[in-house]
């Protein structure tokens, strides 16, 4: 599990742009937490309704297909709560309105932690430019969590304020927490395969296992996912021990 502290939250909210984003990036962690009793809520900012090159496909039909695929993937992972915000694929922006929507969802479900991707990632090594929707969803998620959702004077009509304790940002090179997904990598792959409109007949197993193996190697894990974890609730400082009392054996 969590290499740093072994924590499994009671509830976690995943905020991403498209159906399949979480399955590619963090579904091993999601499945591991769900197995241990964590309530996981998915929030999909768009329906991925332009993600097809199939002749004759429409946005409306594709949105229905991709919602059904996401529900099937979530069933594999043990996720029962899914929120579809319904924004158009390819046009997502980190607007105040999107932030307000996310504040409302966070205040409604009141998760202990939020998971999202890294809004600062634009280019990776050689073969990928990060989708603008990914960056927009992640930026809006972070802005909604800190500090918007906890400010009682901001959008009071969206529910009672809530303070998220930790944010897990799926990291590429800036991680401080590694989560062992050896027990759940097969569930991650099975969930990803439910997105048939995106993966088709391609078997993503080798790629997913290679990524997870490379991530876990330096931490002695067969398969892992890495996150940059931000603690938003400061822990009380430990009281200094009374050295004289310790010498007397009173502690």
Q: What is the DSSP string of 26-64?
A: THHHHHHHHHTT-EEEEEEEE--TT----TT--HHHHHH
Taking the CA atoms of 220, 166, 90 and 171 in sequence, report the sign of the dihedral they define: negative
- Asked if residue 122 belongs to a domain, the reply is yes
- For residue 6, what pLDDT band results from cuts at 50, 70 and 90? low
- Asked if residue 167 belongs to a domain, the reply is yes
**Owning domain of residue 36:** 11-234
The pTM is what?
Answer: 0.90
Helix axes 96-109, 132-145, angle to 10 degrees: 60
Q: What does the angle CA 129 – CA 130 – CA 136 come to, to the nearest 5 degrees?
A: 145
Q: Which tens digits make up the pLDDT trace of 188-241?
A: 999 999 999 999 999 999 999 999 999 999 899 999 999 999 999 976 654 444
- Asked if residue 240 belongs to a domain, the reply is no
Q: Is 44 exposed, middle or buried (0-12, 13-18, 19+ CB in 10 A)?
A: buried
- Asked if residue 2 belongs to a domain, the reply is no
Mean pLDDT of 158-185: 95
CATH of the domain at 213: 3.40.50.10320
Q: Is residue 208 within 8 Å of 185, Cβ to Cβ?
A: yes
pLDDT of residue 237: 56
Q: Which tens digits make up the pLDDT trace of 185-199?
A: 999 999 999 999 999
pLDDT of residue 70: 98
């Amino acid at each position: 599990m969590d290499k740093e502290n072994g924590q499994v939250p009671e509830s976690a909210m995943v905020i991403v742009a498209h159906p399949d984003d979480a399955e590619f990036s963090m579904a091993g962690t999601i499945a591991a937490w769900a197995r241990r009793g964590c309530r996981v809520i998915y929030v999909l900012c768009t329906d991925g309704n332009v993600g097809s090159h199939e002749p004759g496909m429409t946005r409306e039909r594709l949105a229905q297909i991709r919602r059904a695929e996401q529900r099937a993937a979530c069933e594999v992972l043990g996720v029962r709560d899914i929120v579809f915000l319904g924004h158009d694929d390819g046009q997502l922006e980190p607007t105040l309105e999107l932030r307000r929507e996310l504040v409302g969802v966070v205040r409604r479900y009141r998760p202990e932690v939020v998971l999202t991707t890294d809004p600062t990632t634009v280019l990776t090594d050689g073969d990928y430019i990060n989708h603008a929707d990914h960056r927009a969803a992640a930026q809006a998620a972070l802005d909604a969590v800190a500090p918007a959702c906890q400010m009682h004077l901001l959008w009071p009509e969206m529910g009672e304020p809530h303070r998220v304790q930790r944010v897990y940002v799926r990291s590429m090179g800036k991680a401080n927490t590694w989560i062992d997904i050896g027990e759940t990598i097969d569930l991650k792959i099975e969930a990803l395969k439910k997105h048939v409109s995106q993966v088709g007949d391609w078997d993503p197993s080798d790629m997913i296992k290679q990524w997870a193996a490379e991530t876990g190697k330096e931490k002695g894990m067969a398969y892992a996912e890495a996150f940059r974890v931000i603690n938003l609730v400061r822990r009380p400082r430990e009281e200094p021990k009374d050295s004289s009392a310790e010498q007397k054996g009173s502690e």
